[in-house]
Amino acid sequence: MNSLEKITEAVIKTAREAGTFIRAQSQDFSSEMTEYKGLHDLVSYVDRTAEEMILIGLSKLLPEAGFIAEESGTKMATEYNWIVDPLDGTTNFVHGVPIYSVSIALKQNDQIVVGVVYEISRDECFYAWSEGPAFLNDKKITVSTAKALSDSLIATGFPYNDFSRMSGYLKLFDDLMRNSRGLRRLGSAAVDLAYVACGRFEAFYEYGLNPWDVAAGAFIVQQAGGRITDFRQEKQWLFGKEICASNSFTHLELISKIKKYL
């Protein structure tokens, strides 16, 4: 077992512990416990406590690493940095919709080398490490083999506060509704990406995202044989606030439609 595989195992344990806490809190959670970070951008003690648990665990695992974390902010280190979303899908959680996840990635210099997405309600843990395959609960996964959007189920998301591109976005949505097997909006980008990795979705696209939303899931897609770019077919997806993920086969077709409308 190499060092990255050992690190991944430890990250899975940390993600599951945070997920167990989140699952327990969901039983008695009330929307009155929610705060606003910005327009439609919700947070609660659950996000903050889960992130604190995660950061404590990761600090013990790799003391020299820095953090890019949704609730705690950024404290970058030179070589290693954790990218953490303690509860991706907070709005779903607040409303009792059972699609939300813990997302943890490890970035070494400019490359993601570990990714873990734990979908809490279904107890599904997706993970991968550099030069290894992708897994779902210890079973290897790969992307779908569908060759065209007409044979594809596609996931997307809607922005919370940046509506500057909505006119074109809705035209793209209309086009894809007519020319695919359908679109889904789950409310957790990390879960959307994990579902691309295991072949449930053929593609996912969204803008207005942050690094903690996409880092782990996008890496798992890549290790499962998929492709990740921004909307311009470049590599600025981690910090560029837009992402297109696919099973590789449908990528160029989806990118051409994105370019047409956006």
CATH number at residue 13: 3.30.540.10
Q: Are residues 124 and 195 in the same domain?
A: no
What does the CA dihedral 166, 215, 85, 22 come to, rounded to 10 degrees? 100
Domain count, the chain: 2
Q: Do 115 and 163 lie in a common domain?
A: no
Structural contact between residues 104 and 116, judged by C-beta atoms closer than 8 angstroms: yes
Q: Which of 115, 141, 167 is the last residue of a domain?
A: 141
Q: Based on the domain organization, do 165 and 219 belong to the same domain?
A: yes
CA 109/CA 78 separation, integer angstroms: 7
Pairing of strands 101-108, 111-119: antiparallel
Which of 75, 107, 141 terminates a domain? The answer is 141
Round to whole Å and give the CA distance between 243 and 239: 10
- In contact, 71 and 47? CB cutoff 8 Å: yes
Q: Output the pTM of the full model.
A: 0.95
Range list of β-strands (E), 130-182 = 134-136, 139-141, 154-156
User: Same domain, yes or no, for 98 and 166?
Assistant: no
CATH code assigned at 256: 3.40.190.80
Walk along the chain (262 residues) and give the pLDDT tens digit of each residue: 469 999 999 999 999 999 999 999 999 876 666 776 655 556 688 889 999 999 999 999 999 999 999 888 899 999 999 999 999 999 999 999 999 999 999 999 999 999 999 999 999 999 999 999 999 999 999 999 999 999 999 999 988 788 899 999 999 999 999 999 999 999 999 999 999 999 999 999 999 999 999 999 999 999 999 999 999 999 999 999 999 999 999 999 999 999 999 9
- Domain span at residue 206 reads 149-261
93 and 28 both lie in a single domain: yes
Tell whether 136 and 212 lie within a shared domain. Answer: no
Q: Verify that 33 and 98 share a domain, yes or no.
A: yes
